Amino acid sequence: MKKREIGNIKEILKVFENPVARGVHTRSGLKGAHTGKPEEIHSGGHDEAGIDKKIKLVMVDMDSNESRPFDINEARQWDWGNPTRIRLIGDWQVANWDQLVEIVRYKVDRGYQEVRVYEAPRFMLFSGG
């Protein structure tokens, strides 16, 4: 292989180390939440035991503007495959339960006391579908 081809492969591999490429989407950047370095991303097993004791989890329904507490086990039962509902934590779009646990564990490690998950119909957040 030529030296230039090896460089291109390294650039491609960097994309897979990026949290946005891994599915933790953001609209306006990471805003200092983390630098995207692989060692800062909690991708090792998702041990959700005890998360509820370390941080308060709150679901905010943007449609009705109501909020309610929830536990991490309840979140596992949500309809994650429904494309008409969008869930957000800050600037991150949460597409599945594993991402939710990953972000919540990150917030626990950073000393947050509460995580608010905003849920809304897709049309409220993305015009044109």
pLDDT, one tens digit per residue, over 23-70 is: 444 443 433 444 444 334 444 454 566 676 789 999 999 999 999 999
pLDDT, one tens digit per residue, over 62-94 is: 999 999 999 988 999 999 999 999 999 998 999
What pTM does this model have? 0.61
3-state secondary structure 38-88: HHHCCCCCCCCCCHHHHCEEEEEECCCCEEEECCHHHHHCCCCCCCCEEEE
